[in-house]
Structure 1
Amino acid sequence: MILILKDQMMGKVISAVLLIVLVCFGCTDRDDTVTMANIRVKNVSSINFDSVQVGAEDKIHENVTPNGFSDYLEYETAYSYDYIKITSGEEGVFILQPIDFVGETPLSPGFYTYELNVLETGEVQLNFVID
């Protein structure tokens, strides 16, 4: 009987050790393998964004509905604010044009959201969020 209890106890100890090892080493954070800035767009305006260009690269976030998000796109160089060109059907084209990036540090690899709003005046507002 003592041998049976020892075998059961040993099985529980081995199971617990395996569980701890799996939890510690089996999980990866989505940031662990990121090598570039990943930016998505959140539309906080009341109009549909047919397309949103961020920065000088030819990467386009498409069909971002009000209160909706685009997918993340990878950028080699990006900043906490950037050139933004929003195209919205009959509403027109809206542009946020930074003057320069002097003194700005490029974003490190990670996940970021540009919350974009188009005001009644046509001005584009950008709120930068670290995800």
Structure 2
Amino acid sequence: MKIKKHYIKYKYNLKFKKHLLKFGFVGFKIILFHRITKKKEEYLKLLILKKLKELTKRKIKVWFFSLCFFNLTQLPLDSRMGKGKGEVYETCNFYKKGFILFEVKGISIFNSLKLLIFLNNQKIVKFKSIF
């Protein structure tokens, strides 16, 4: 029996520090392991801020815990093997299950559930809210 060697090892446990609320009263946690590109991340931030303005007129604080620092590379289609890694075409980040992507302070539970339903319908990332 041969043992396959896996080069990228991701731990799916909660031994990292980004699964507890630190600043806000409501947090939105990622349900599944996911890769988010910089464009999707900016679009998600725009959607969140827009929807929060629609829901309440009060002052709301939002903390985002996302940084894109991995580079995705791609070779042109007409290149052969041995030409190197390729050019960087996108930056992204990998998020583990249970990572809190953003926290909100100054919003009611009812409005946070509306925001959760709205974000899950967008099908970028599936969220779960924690209080």
TM-score normalised to structure 1 length: 0.29
Tell me the TM-score normalised to structure 2 length.
0.29
Bigger proportion of residues as strand: 1
The structure showing larger relative contact order (alpha-carbon pairs under 8 Å, at least 6 residues apart) is 2
